Chains A and B, each alone.
Chain A
């Protein structure tokens, strides 16, 4: 879970790490700091490049900036709050981030003596590999800083940031910049991604709902599926709305990616991305299917999955059929699924299709998984031509 800058700074402060004095405003109010920096609170995109961060020298300028930024949008994401901070008089800027590296399969520290904007283009970023079990000792950070000819006085702060990264179960902790001031180091911006898998051991992580990672708020359909998915621990269903006309119901993390590619390659336009896995119960499959097939403009439905390891095909089909019975779709439906209890599962769908006169074609393991993409695309095209 990505944190807003203000949430990240509150958490850092709780751990005794220095951040500028500031206040979060959700409505127009004058800044208590002058001069000050006004920062739009958004989770995605480079707000600095888009005018989301402004230095204000007087109250008039600050008031104007605050009212201009509040409720504005950055790449589709609405600004619900602004952070107003004291302006820090800085002498030098550093960059530091802690994250997990797939090359070394370890946590790493990325560090640069030239922090601030434009860090993506920087060539001079140093990498320091950390052993998760041993942690980061102040002595080894000192040696690292000395080797790259950086200020060794940064060592205690970097060690504290490492402890924070571990204690708060971060996937990413990025401070850009760390400002060197006359009195010490201050974290001017903070980017934190908490590890959702660790939520069970952090009862204090009470953060509100986030915008979808696409930068927009969750749609009603996405919310409904998420609620159903979170309702019990049996499996997960994910749903993300897209612009196309084929409702896409795919099993498995890997299977769903393979099939999305196949659908697009075949010339199809997915109305959504979906993934269901871990043997979801009927109710979850029902909600997912209902949301996916009732999306306006849907002209077909592709239910696809590889040979499942443990997800039951009969449970899945019972949920899907329940949604179909409520909607009674006229559009074509193509199914390719295999796995435990597939004979029973595919029969449930075939019987219901016969009874209600649905336009369903069912394939099993003998037909390659992605080959059925071409079939649904062809059928949707035919359906579109006859139902203009």
Chain B
């Protein structure tokens, strides 16, 4: 059945009239994602690729059935867009916008908790349940999306949008397909983390195993070990951790994503790998080994 999104997902696009919003809308529609409406304050009444635009989320929700939102607004407007969606009762929100100030992200997370809603991102490229639905801009142009994403049994979670595709591709090259693939975003704070998705994959009958792309910085990878120890995830899990070279650099230097930084001794890849291995995760030393490792574990 996949997790989070499927044929019944009806996506509102917040920021639909912006250049990225328009491109993403077109690609999602081509993939078969249901997009009943879009929102851009002040642009109500327009249409984008045949999708009606409203001034507010509330208005769009009154006129259409909507159960998810894709937020693709400028960074300093992301907070108000997300709070508006949460106040309107949307249960699943994916924030594509990058460079969102940390205090704004913290506010979104606090509000999503209060509303018991699922927030993904900011700086999430998107997610896809192959052949069912896609939110965001995943896998590039349609021919490539159908080449690397195929309905199957492997769940994928990645902090990186690019490595999400690359990981999905090594799974395909191993002759397997994916149930749901999620780009969770590489920021210091994000709405949902590996642990949250693993608990959902555990309950999903279609998902037989999960593959994770993780990296230097923060403690989200370490939290996976807790989920394994508590038996909240019991299927095979293969993990690749990027950024080992950062340990050889002076502390406090950020490489790549905003969250990819070793601070106060926390966030070292070698420690993440050690903790995960001890908790029973399968570790890929080279990224392309993920396909074989998970295939052998099935």
Contact = CB atoms under 8 A, between A and B. Distances in A.
Contact of A253 (B101, B139, B160): B160
Contacts of B141: 340-341
Given A254-B186, A254-B257, A261-B242, A200 B138 contact: no
Nearest to B106: A132
Contacts of A48: none
A264 B158 contact: no
A365 B165 CA distance: 11
B101 A252 contact: no
B253 A213 contact: yes
B162 A305 contact: yes
Given A132-B109, A254-B159, A307 B102 contact: no
A275 interface: yes
A100 B106 contact: yes
A294 interface: no
A260 B245 contact: yes
A158 to B, nearest CB: 18
A328 to B, nearest CB: 30
B215 A257 contact: yes
B140 interface: yes
Interface in A253-308: 253-258, 260-262, 264-265, 273, 275, 277-278, 305-308
Contacts of A261: 242-245
Interface stretch (A6-14, A51-59, A366-374): A366-374
A257 B102 contact: no
Contacts of B253: 213-214
B98 interface: yes
Contacts of A109: none
Interface in A294-338: 305-310, 338
Contacts of A370: 286-288
B76 A200 contact: yes
Most buried by A among B106, B107, B126: B106
A242 to B, nearest CB: 9
Is chain A's binding surface mostly helix, strand, loop or mixed? mixed
B212 to A, nearest CB: 12
Contact of B158 (A105, A254, A310, A368): A254
Task: Kindly name the residue among A197, A198, A309, A341 whose own CB sees the greatest number of chain B CB atoms within 10 A.
Answer: A309
B8 to A, nearest CB: 25
Interface string B215-234: 11011100100000000000
B163 interface: yes
A257 B288 CA distance: 14
B248 to A, nearest CB: 8
Contacts of A66: none
A198 B107 CA distance: 14
B30 to A, nearest CB: 13
A368 B288 contact: yes
A214 B220 contact: no
A264 B163 CA distance: 19
A114 B189 CA distance: 29
Given A102-B188, A310-B23, A370-B286, A254 B138 contact: no
A265 B253 CA distance: 21
Contact of B256 (A201, A253, A264, A306): A253
Nearest to B168: A307
Interface residues of B, number: 68
B102 A255 contact: no
Contacts of A369: 166, 287-288
Nearest to B20: A310
Contacts of A277: 162
Given A102-B188, A254-B256, A261-B244, A197 B101 contact: yes
A133 B107 contact: yes
Interface in B197-239: 213, 215-216, 218-220, 223
A209 interface: no
A257 B163 CA distance: 10
Nearest to A367: B288
A338 to B, nearest CB: 8
A252 B219 CA distance: 21
A46 B99 CA distance: 30
Interface in A135-184: 166, 169, 171
Contacts of A73: none
A116 interface: no
A255 B163 CA distance: 6
Given A106-B110, A197-B75, A365-B169, A256 B256 contact: yes
B252 A213 contact: yes
A131 B112 CA distance: 12
A252 B163 CA distance: 8
Interface in A38-80: 44
A260 to B, nearest CB: 5
Nearest to B288: A368
A215 interface: yes
A374 to B, nearest CB: 10
Contacts of B63: none
Interface string A203-224: 0000000000111000000000
A86 to B, nearest CB: 30
Given A100-B189, A105-B109, A133-B107, A309 B254 contact: no
B140 A340 contact: yes
Interface of B: 23, 75-76, 98-103, 106-107, 109-111, 114, 125-126, 137-141, 144, 148, 158-163, 165-166, 169-170, 173, 186, 188-190, 193, 213, 215-216, 218-220, 223, 240, 242-246, 249-250, 252-260, 264, 286-288
5 contacts: A102-B188, A102-B259, A201-B76, A264-B244, A278-B98
Given A102-B188, A258-B287, A309-B138, 20 more contacts: A44-B250, A100-B188, A105-B106, A197-B100, A197-B101, A213-B252, A252-B256, A253-B186, A254-B161, A257-B215, A257-B245, A257-B246, A260-B245, A277-B162, A306-B165, A306-B166, A307-B166, A309-B126, A309-B137, A341-B141
